[in-house]
């Protein structure tokens, strides 16, 4: 006997109270299997695929794409075959709503209407980001031929790459179109920044310059453009507002002489690249220094819980990675159990998965302390907002050569600033000052005998 069961928004993490449906991957009438993704959802700063907990046929969508709902809210109905042996429908995480037959048929009719409405939404179809335009120009792709899977039928970077990979026929863009000239302008800007970035601290050897979304609905004569807020941008805004309104931020900065580190890294990077296939970045050394300092001052690795402070035993480093239109913080789990080579590999994997949109929910959960790499953009001073509900966040700024006084003599050294934002309910200047001093001592203590493994 057939049974219609509600699928609810599960609590995928302890702190998760709500989530946003970004896009439905299944439509009414589509068969679904257990663990098969049925929708893309946005939780804390990340996209994730929501797997089905039922096997059957999706008959109705209850929550529209772009809508934020509390955990436990029914999101769709799935028609399943009842298990004749047990007498129970096949369900896990779903709520039985009613039997099959007339009710299910009515539901199917409504679902068909919903599907038609969803497919007709092409309001964002012809709005292209700079990255999409640049990739299309590079591959000679006519964007009008590319199917859009984004909100409102918008074409994403992945859509263009998938179109190119499929070998679909291409149609060169008109020579007079503005796309090639815009790409050329971006390239010129990138070249002009190379000297600055070459002395910075990078996630990789070729850090990307974030693309800023500027297209939108132009109002004739007003000189203004309206840009719609994407679900992930809205989530970031909510989390940042929560952090700055609930957490009293304090800031500190320390200056570090990383001359020995630069020499060490330059000595090892080619051999490491040949052996591991990934870049040996400065960030791996910095994270190792931060982890060593956290082990000495574990209160840094904690959260505020109203009437108590919870100190986390695991040291899981959240890594800020900029994407096309947002920032995501994948997590290096148990970073204290990894050597520098292991951290470098983790950085490469997480950064690549982030930029390719392949992060899973588990990749961004459980962070206890955040490391940011603002130096990759040439920054020398930052006051970062804490990644709520963590107690602190640290940034590493650009490495720059400048004259410093050593033993009453001038010397040219490679210098970098390390900046810390702290939750002043938990942390004070003394403990944070000692923490930063420990990071500084570790970084300045790297010598030519330092082992990566």
Q: 106-141 burial, b if ≥16 CB within 10 A, otherwise e?
A: ebbeebeebbeeeeeeeebbebbbbbbbbbbbeeeb
From the candidates 33, 83, 428, 447, which is the catalytic residue?
Answer: 428
How far apart are alpha carbons 285 and 281 in whole angstroms?
Answer: 8
Whole-Å CA distances, 446 to 261, 288, 383, 418: 6, 11, 27, 16
User: Cβ atoms within 10 A of the Cβ of 33, count?
Assistant: 11
How far apart are alpha carbons 76 and 5 in whole angstroms?
Answer: 8
Residue 224, CB half-sphere, CA atoms under 13 Å: how many? Answer: 3
How far apart are alpha carbons 60 and 37 in whole angstroms?
Answer: 16
| Residue 95 annotated to the active site | no
**DSSP code of 270?**
H
User: Cβ atoms within 10 A of the Cβ of 250, count?
Assistant: 17
Is residue 58 within 8 Å of 30, Cβ to Cβ? yes
The H-assigned helical ranges of 100-173 are 102-119, 130-139, 157-165
Supply 372's token pair: 């940011």
Partners of residue 94 on adjacent β-strands: 7
How far apart are alpha carbons 254 and 162 in whole angstroms?
Answer: 45
Q: In terms of Cα–Cα distance, which of 369, 347, 377 is closest to 193?
A: 377
49 by DSSP, 3-state: which? Answer: strand
From the candidates 121, 257, 325, 424, which is the catalytic residue?
Answer: 424
| Residue 449 annotated to the active site | no
Report the catalytic residues.
424, 428
């Amino acid at each position: 006997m057939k049974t219609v069961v509600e699928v609810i928004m599960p609590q995928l993490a302890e702190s998760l109270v709500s989530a946003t449906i970004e896009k439905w991957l299944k439509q009414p009438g589509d068969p679904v299997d257990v663990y098969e993704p049925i929708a893309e959802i946005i939780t804390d700063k990340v996209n994730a695929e929501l797997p089905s907990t039922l096997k059957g046929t999706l008959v109705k969508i209850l929550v529209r794409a772009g809508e934020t709902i509390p955990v436990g809210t029914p999101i769709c109905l799935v028609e399943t075959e009842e298990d004749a042996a047990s007498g129970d429908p096949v369900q896990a995480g779903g709520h039985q709503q009613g039997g099959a037959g007339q009710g299910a048929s009515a539901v199917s009719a409504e679902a068909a209407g919903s599907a038609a409405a969803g497919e007709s939404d092409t309001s964002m179809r012809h709005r292209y980001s700079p990255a999409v335009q640049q990739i299309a120009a590079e591959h000679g792709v006519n964007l009008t031929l590319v199917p859009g899977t984004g909100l409102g039928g918008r074409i994403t970077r992945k859509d263009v790459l998938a179109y190119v990979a499929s070998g679909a026929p291409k149609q060169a863009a008109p020579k007079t179109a503005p796309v090639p000239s815009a790409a050329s302008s971006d390239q010129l800007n990138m070249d002009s920044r190379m000297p600055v970035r070459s002395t910075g601290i990078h996630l990789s050897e070729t850090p990307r310059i974030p693309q800023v979304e500027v297209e939108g609905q132009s109002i004739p004569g007003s000189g203004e453009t309206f840009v719609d807020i994407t679900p992930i941008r809205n989530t970031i805004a909510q989390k940042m507002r929560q952090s700055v309104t609930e957490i009293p931020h304090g800031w500190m900065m320390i200056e570090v002489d990383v001359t020995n580190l630069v020499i060490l890294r330059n000595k090892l990077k080619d051999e490491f690249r040949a052996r591991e296939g990934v870049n040996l970045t400065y960030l791996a050394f910095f994270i190792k220094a931060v982890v060593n300092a956290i082990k000495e001052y574990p209160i840094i690795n904690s959260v505020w819980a109203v009437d108590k402070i919870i100190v986390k035993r695991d040291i899981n480093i959240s890594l800020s990675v900029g994407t096309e239109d947002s920032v995501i913080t994948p997590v290096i789990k148990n970073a204290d159990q990894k050597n520098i080579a292991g951290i470098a590999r983790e950085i490469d994997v997480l950064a690549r998965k982030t930029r390719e949109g392949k992060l899973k929910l588990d990749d961004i959960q459980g962070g206890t302390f955040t490391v940011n790499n603002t130096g990759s953009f040439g920054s020398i001073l930052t006051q970062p907002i804490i990644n709520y509900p963590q107690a602190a966040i640290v940034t590493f700024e650009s490495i720059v050569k400048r004259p410093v006084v050593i033993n009453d003599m001038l010397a040219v050294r490679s210098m970098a600033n390390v900046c810390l934002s702290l939750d002043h309910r938990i942390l004070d200047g003394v403990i944070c000052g000692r923490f930063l001093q420990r990071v500084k001592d570790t970084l300045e203590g790297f010598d030519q005998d330092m082992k990566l493994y």
